[in-house]
Structure formats: structure tokens, C-alpha cells
Structure 1
Amino acid sequence: MKVKANGIDIEVEDTGGSGEPLLLIMGLGCQLVHWPPYFVQPLVEAGYRVIRLDNRDIGLSQYFPQFGRPNPTWGGLMLALGRELPAPYTLGDMAADALGVLDALGIARAHVAGASMGGMIAQRLALAAPERVRSLVSIMSSSGARGLPRPEPHVVRALLARPRGGTREALLRYYVELYRTIGGPSYDQPEADLRAAIEVSLDRAQNPDGMLRQLRAIMADTRRAGELARMRVPTLVLHGREDPLVPVNCGADTARRIPDSRYVVIERMGHALPPSVSRPLVAEMLPFLRAHPIEAAEPALAA
């Protein structure tokens, strides 16, 4: 369903029910369907009202073609030179979108979990509106601090590659190879299942320029690392030992910067959510969420 959030149209899927709300925010270029059913369903079965959204400029949410197609190479050069990097919108704007989703659904307070860029947005949300975030789970994400480890060279090559041909099969093969690369050496998702998931996302929506605009928002968010020291939301940081895209030390850095956060490294996890990774992630999340319940007396927002 579409909701009006922060003045724009955001696509939302809400499992409903009377359980404590848990907002899931996905990463760069990823749609809400990239939270796989085997990750979502155990959370629902544990009693949580799971809410997923398409971030702006991706999926079925509102696009921003008027801002054009940013050049990531130029953006990287500006950052290397220490220049301010203009962006069509910010991670703070995307956090305001997520907050607007809670407003539209009448939710006063929620647990928030974000993966990769979604973890960065979740951090921004917790900084901007801590009274609305009962707990934060930052998954395979980063503080964005300067000097952190960068993606491994073979991952950069995979990210910069292009499909070999213009057919749908070529596009599918490109994404299969990319996901296997960022998934790390222990990635074990069967190819048939991976292809089926990719086809769902391709059939649902495609907006590659939107992904580049989201990337620019990440690149321009250079001050968040220094702001995390004032975080007062209970936080669980989960990161994969084998993450080749956002190396594990990025998770350690995030946890170090957020006061009283809990840090857990998931063995054999890269930068993906196959079943073998989703199970230990959910197993870490559920006790953490239960340890920080939303008080039953907290009122809902007026519709």
C-alpha cells in the first residue's frame, strides 16, 4: 500500500496485528522484497508487527528523476579531496520518510532494524527522533567514518561491471554473480532460489538512477560518525565476519561509537541474507527485542 510520508509517496507492507511494531529498512538499491520471507516470518511468528518500506527512489516508492544521474566517480574524487559533496537528498531525509511511515500508520514508537544503507538510515532516525525508536538493530552497516576499511577489490570490480548483453537472462546472470560476490566465500544460497528472488525484484520495479542518487546520499553523510556518541537508544550491532562489501571492522566501529551498544559478529556471513545467515541474525534479534519491550501504556498516534 502507498502512504504519504514526509510529503512523498512511500510503498509499505505491514503484517498488521496487535504486536509491537518492528520497522525494517533495506539497503542501497534494494526493495522491501529483499527482506526474504524466511527472515520476516520468524519475527511475525514471535508476535511482532513487521513493517517494511521501499525507500525513496526505489521499488514502488516515489522517484526523483529531476535530480538526474549522479556520477559516483566524481563524488568519490570530491570526498577524497575533502570537499563538501552536494546530494539531491540526504540520509536524514530518508530517515524522515521512515518516521513519516510510522506517523501514517499511527505508530508512536517502534523497534527499527536496518541492513547496510538501511542501518545508516536507522541510525539517523534514532538520532533525530529517539523518543520514537524503542530499540535499534544495525545489520551489516557502518558509521560512515573516514578511514574505515573499504570494499575488497574484487567486489569493486563486480559493482562496476555491467551485464554482458541487453537480455533479461544477461541481467539475471549479472545480479546472480554480484550477489554471490558480496555474499562472501561462505554464501550458500542455491542458484535457483537466488534467481527466483532476483526475478521478483526485477518484475516489481527497476530504477538504476535512483540507486545512484541513494549512493550519493550515503557519500554525502560525512558527519554521522561523530554524532553517534549522543545516541541513547538501545542498540544491537550485527555484522558478518566475511563481509567483503562493508568489512567487519565497520561493524566494530559502529558499536564502539554508540554508547552501551551490543556487538555480535555472525560467522560465515557476508553482505547478504541467505537462510543460513538469517537464522542466526533472527536468533540474536529476538532476545534483544524482548529485553526492550514497548510499554503497553504508550498511546498510538492520532490517525
Structure 2
Amino acid sequence: MPTVTTPNTGIEIFYEDHGDPAHETILLVMGLGAQLTLWPDELVEALTGEGFRVIRYDNRDIGLSQKMEGARAPSLPIQLLRKKIGFPAKVPYTLTDMAHDGIGLLDALGIGQAHVVGASMGGMIVQLMAVHHPDRLMSMTSIMSTTGNGKLPQAEKHAMEALIAPLKSMDEESLVAHGLNIAKNIGSPGFPFDPEQQREKVLRNVRRSVYPAGLPRQLAAIIDDGCRRSRLANVRTPTLVLHGEADPLVKLEAGEDTARHISGARLVTIPGWGHDIPPELVGRVAEEIVVHARQG
């Protein structure tokens, strides 16, 4: 099983390594409560087919990476209240810690520099890689993500409720139903939803790993990090921002805000795209990443 312990944070990270090790590396960083398998295999194949080495990994507290057993996240209402009045709650770890994990993975694999690509929370993580480790990044792509500014439009209620809904049961069918409900509520309205295809994907992920305790800790890290606008103003890493015009979870304005606060960032928006990577968009997303990486 391909795992490494990061030399900087001491966290055991599970990863997959695709393509020729001699080629430039693209590091894929996934989002809240999401395993590395949410990066479509077809996207990985498209990127390696264009001559890149592609590494995707499970963030801490999800999938097959190290779990922060026993760590307690503050309750969501208490954390939001304390944040509002200027008294941040204590969190088990931060988004910056998670950014250090990704850089630590590169260290462990002997990779000096990489193109980093993050989706949703993963976009926040790669933004922080650019803030804290600019010398390690050849380019950055922030997908369906945000600066974290609290004045931006919030997620549609149905999308957020589906994402953070408590599990009713740990039996397989209940877990699959839960995953399908998330996929329906955050997915892309401009592209067809195939229930059987989605069920197969969710089932594979359920059988790979289920760890509900990690999600509230990762969510706490997101809330704790707050607004990154001032930090992003100093980023000089060549940046591409990809965002769906129909994203119900992280609204389009969040992607626009991200591009606006990173010097020289290029924004690409796609009609009908929600908070997933539907098969119909894999080619387009891969093309945008490749063109940006080569320019970067």
C-alpha cells in the first residue's frame, strides 16, 4: 500500500502515483470529506497522456490516510459564533497544516516542484501552498473554490444540508443513499445525472473507506482559516481559477473573488457546471489544466 509519513508534519499519507517519474508533476488535492478517488480516473489518464506525472492523495482524516482519532472539533454553531466575535475556537488542525501535508508528500517523494491543482477545500489548500511554499509551485489551479470571505454569497441550503447531513446508519445501502443524495444536490444541472453510474462510483468509495468523524474536523479547519484575501494578494504563482456557473455549494462569485485577489490569475467559468466533475467536462478540465501548466 503506497503510504509515506510526511517529514514536516509526521502524518501518514496514502497516495497514488501515475505516469513517468521523469515528467513534470501535477499534484491533485481533493475537497471536504472527499477521497482521492473523486478525481476521475479519466482525468488522471488525460493528464498523464499529455506527458505529466500525476499524484493524487487522501487528505488527513479521510480515505486511507491517517485519521486524527480522538481529536474533537468544536460544534459548528459555537465555532461560527466565536469566529464572528473574534475569538476563534480551538481546532484539531488547520488548513495550513493540510497544505504542509501536501508539500511533505512531495518532500517524501523527492519532488522539488509541482503544478498543484485543488478542488473545493483542495483549492483552499493549494492557495495556502502558494502562500507558504511559493518556491515549490510551478503553477496553481484552484477549482470550485473560494477566498473564504464571509460576505460572499453562501451555499444553497439544499446543497449544504446534503453535504453535512448526519448518517442515518452505517449499513452499506444507507451509506450509498447518503452519497447519492450529496451527488444529486451538489452536481451539475447542465449535464445529465446517471443514477446507475453514480451509484457505482459511490459504492466503490463506500467500500474503499468510510470515516464520518473526519468531516467535521476538516470543516472546522475551513472555518478557522477565515478570509484569505490579504494573504492571496501576495501570491505570485501563475494561477488558473476554474468555476462552474451553476455551482450550488461554492457559488460562482467565490471563484470570481479568488481570481480577483490573486495577481495575474486567469478565470475560466463553464455554464451548467456544478460542484463535481461530470464525465462530459473531464476533457475540458484536463485541457485547461494542461495549457495552464505549460504556460506556467
TM-score category by the smaller chain? over 0.9
Aligned to 2:12: 9
Q: CA deviation at 1:189?
A: 3.7
Q: CA deviation at 1:68?
A: 2.4
Q: Is the 8 A contact 2:141 2:289 kept in 1?
A: yes
How do residues 275-290 of structure 1 correspond to structure 2 at under 5 angstroms? 275-290=279-294
Q: Is the 8 A contact 2:73 2:220 kept in 1?
A: no
Aligned to 1:262: 266
Equivalent residue letter for 1:289: A
Q: CA deviation at 1:283?
A: 2.1
Q: Is the 8 A contact 2:190 2:271 kept in 1?
A: no
- Unpaired runs of 5+ residues, structure 1, are 293-303
Q: Is the 8 A contact 1:27 1:114 kept in 2?
A: yes
Q: In structure 2, how many angstroms separate the alpha carbons of the residues matched to 1:37 and 1:16?
A: 13
Q: CA deviation at 1:184?
A: 3.8
Q: CA deviation at 1:14?
A: 0.5
Equivalent residue letter for 1:10: I
Q: Is the 8 A contact 1:85 1:219 kept in 2?
A: no
Q: CA deviation at 1:160?
A: 4.3
- TM-score, normalised via structure 1 length: 0.92
**Secondary structure of 1:65's partner?**
coil
Q: CA deviation at 1:175?
A: 1.3
Aligned to 1:104: 108
Q: Is the 8 A contact 1:189 1:275 kept in 2?
A: no
Q: In structure 1, how many angstroms separate the alpha carbons of the residues matched to 2:168 and 2:74?
A: 23
Q: Is the 8 A contact 1:14 1:50 kept in 2?
A: yes
- TM-score, normalised via structure 2 length: 0.94
> Are 1:122 and 2:157 matched, yes or no?
no
Q: In structure 2, how many angstroms separate the alpha carbons of the residues matched to 1:188 and 1:85?
A: 41
Q: In structure 2, how many angstroms separate the alpha carbons of the residues matched to 1:13 and 1:258?
A: 30
Q: Is the 8 A contact 1:39 1:275 kept in 2?
A: no
**Secondary structure of 2:13's partner?**
strand
Equivalent residue letter for 1:209: A
**Secondary structure of 1:230's partner?**
coil
Equivalent residue letter for 2:198: L
Q: CA deviation at 1:93?
A: 0.4
- Unpaired runs of 5+ residues, structure 2, are none
1:40-66 deviation digits (Å, cap 9, x = unpaired): 110010011000111011111111122
Aligned to 1:19: 23
Q: Is the 8 A contact 2:74 2:90 kept in 1?
A: no
Aligned to 1:95: 99
Q: In structure 2, how many angstroms separate the alpha carbons of the residues matched to 1:91 and 1:248?
A: 22
> Are 1:249 and 2:253 matched, yes or no?
yes
Q: In structure 1, how many angstroms separate the alpha carbons of the residues matched to 2:119 and 2:133?
A: 19
Aligned to 1:155: 159
Q: In structure 2, how many angstroms separate the alpha carbons of the residues matched to 1:82 and 1:69?
A: 18
In the alignment of these two chains, the number of paired residues is 292
Equivalent residue letter for 1:80: K
Q: In structure 2, how many angstroms separate the alpha carbons of the residues matched to 1:65 and 1:244?
A: 32
1:87-116 deviation digits (Å, cap 9, x = unpaired): 110111001100000001100010000000
Instruction: Please give the root-mean-square deviation of Cα atoms over the aligned residues, in Å.
Output: 1.5
1:141-178 deviation digits (Å, cap 9, x = unpaired): 00111201100122233234345555322221221121
Aligned to 2:206: 202
Aligned to 2:172: 168
Q: In structure 2, how many angstroms separate the alpha carbons of the residues matched to 1:197 and 1:205?
A: 13
Aligned to 2:222: 218
Q: In structure 2, how many angstroms separate the alpha carbons of the residues matched to 1:169 and 1:206?
A: 13
Q: In structure 1, how many angstroms separate the alpha carbons of the residues matched to 2:191 and 2:131?
A: 33
Q: In structure 2, how many angstroms separate the alpha carbons of the residues matched to 1:49 and 1:131?
A: 19
Which stretch shifts more, 92-101 or 215-224? Answer: 215-224
Q: Is the 8 A contact 1:266 1:280 kept in 2?
A: no
Relative to structure 1, the CA distance from residue 234 to residue 166 in structure 2 (aligned partners, 3 Å threshold; closer, same or farther) is closer
